[in-house]
Chain A
């Protein structure tokens, strides 16, 4: 309330102009997300008219169109709307915490922890459904995150950007080795695992999205709590302390948020590449280095890009599909290159 009143009162001020521009970008991003969401319901390998889609949504008749829309397109759209923000927000948090523009959800070993959880689910617990993997994936991600922060915290530097990144990368490598080891001795596990590891929104029913929503919401709250502290932390630990922040608390909140978001996203949709790396850069290029705005924009652009990748994957080779994890990596890499060449890089 205050913020709007103060800015509306001085539309000509510098911060007023900046605020207006950022709000404009956010509204445009929200519009884009809405359009992509509708497209995700309307488009697919089986062409349906908008009328059929609408009818299937409001008055299902059990016909083919109803089944396609309600049992295939709605669940994957919901999953995209859950996983997309999680990956993008985790990327923003991790790039800020490690002060490293290359950071992405894999850097803390959290992604590898989720993978190990899923492999254990398949090989040891005998779980065979994607919905069944979720708990194992979240648990694996959580344990890996706990391990990384625990080890980094005990070093001389504490959980600094460098120790977090180094411990995370080391854990990522060793957990990855364990996963590969388990897979090479067990061919049947590998069969199940490879469907999960490609990453995508297909084959997951709405229950999967519902399972991870609480984790994503908790992660969003932690990210919002840490946002202003991350702005200060970007200027160095001493400046952040001087500005009245408890540096350890900001790191803990941001790190816990990143672990929850990554764990939930990876457990639900597999390790989807590039959303967590490219979206934070895109968001900062559009609204500048203010984490409250960067996080808000990432939460809108992440699902928009993920759903767009999923839609492209449905349309390129009908009646088959290319998983969103593959499309996002194929499209995300050139997007990032264009961004780096065109726009000014804003690191934090």
Chain B
């Protein structure tokens, strides 16, 4: 549903994306990965019309997004930027309610539909118990679910999230990704997220986009494209890729580097996992 044609974006005299053609499948969970400063957040922000491109277009179901009223876009695309601000003292219900702004006008204020959408969003993101709490008093994981609830209250077909798991511990990362997965499967939402963790990307993504230096290196289902060669190409990291014992998705295991290699251990980068079985930890 979202695609870019000849998308060129830059800051000042630096060009970050140069003539990018990207197609995001509808009703899929797309994850964009790549090293720091590769332009993945810039791509997401440009697709979410947060950045104006220098050249080229972002198409939303075939229409140039800049030709659509921004309020109309806000009813179709929900955006969660990397570090939104939390004003002190704002309650969860109030914050989630602001997700209804694209539907409100001065002559049409808070309606029964707004109330229903906010309740549904808070229930879905599992923050209804927190409704009257101040957002700045919540933990990082709770806070992130509140932000997702705000974008859910927008009732959009697609959600664009810029590094939604950064600064969360592992359990909360899984919680947020499970929520996004459920939105895709149960609600047919199109999800697009920038993630740092390749293994999480491989587990959750239907469609993976690997970027390096402002260009797309590979795009497709993780099981088809995520290989040791791709990781070396994109991140400059030697690794082995094995099937994940839990999900079967590709699992990227970085090769041992000299600094962490214990004495006498094998040091073959391309060694298969069977040659170095995981040690069991004595209880």
Contacts and interface: CB of A to CB of B under 8 A. Distances in A.
A296 to B, nearest CB: 13
Contacts of A7: 110
B159 to A, nearest CB: 10
Given A2-B108, A156-B12, A235 B85 contact: yes
Interface in A222-252: 224-225, 228, 231-232, 234-236, 238-239, 241-246
A250 B74 CA distance: 16
A264 B78 CA distance: 40
Size bracket, chain B contacts: 35 or more
Interface in B96-118: 97-99, 101-102, 104, 106, 108-112, 115, 118
B73 interface: yes
Contact of A6 (B84, B91, B102, B111): B111
B115 A2 contact: no
A242 B48 contact: yes
A289 B108 contact: no
B103 to A, nearest CB: 9
A175 B140 CA distance: 45
B79 interface: yes
B61 interface: no
Interface in A294-348: 344-348
B83 interface: yes
A155 interface: no
Contacts of B225: none
B243 to A, nearest CB: 37
A2 B71 contact: no
Nearest to A241: B50
Interface stretch (A9-17, A102-110, A117-125, A255-263): A9-17
Which of B89, B93, B97 has the most chain A CB within a 10 Å cutoff?
B89
A14 B131 CA distance: 9
A14 B123 CA distance: 14
Contact of B101 (A2, A236, A244, A284): A244
A345 B70 contact: no
Interface in A201-239: 224-225, 228, 231-232, 234-236, 238-239
Contacts of B49: 241
B89 A288 contact: yes
A225 B105 CA distance: 10
A290 interface: yes
A242 B118 CA distance: 17
B41 to A, nearest CB: 11
B141 to A, nearest CB: 19
A7 B90 CA distance: 21
A242 B87 contact: no
B74 A243 contact: yes
A288 B102 contact: no
Given A15-B115, A235-B98, A347 B87 contact: yes
A25 to B, nearest CB: 15
Contacts of B86: 235
Given A6-B111, A15-B110, A236 B85 contact: yes
A38 to B, nearest CB: 32
A245 B78 CA distance: 13
Nearest to B108: A2
Contacts of B88: 344-348
Contacts of A59: none
B143 to A, nearest CB: 12
A241 B79 contact: yes
A18 B81 CA distance: 29
Nearest to B72: A244
A3 interface: yes
Interface of A: 2-3, 6-7, 9-10, 13-15, 18-19, 99, 156, 224-225, 228, 231-232, 234-236, 238-239, 241-246, 284, 288-290, 344-348
Given A15-B97, A232-B98, A236-B81, 6 more contacts: A231-B101, A238-B50, A244-B70, A244-B74, A244-B102, A346-B87
Interface of B: 12, 45, 48-50, 69-75, 77-91, 93-95, 97-99, 101-102, 104, 106, 108-112, 115, 118, 131-132, 134, 151, 154
The 7 A-B pairs of least Cβ separation, nearest first, read A244-B74, A242-B79, A346-B89, A238-B81, A244-B71, A348-B87, A3-B109
5 contacts: A15-B93, A15-B97, A235-B86, A236-B81, A239-B84
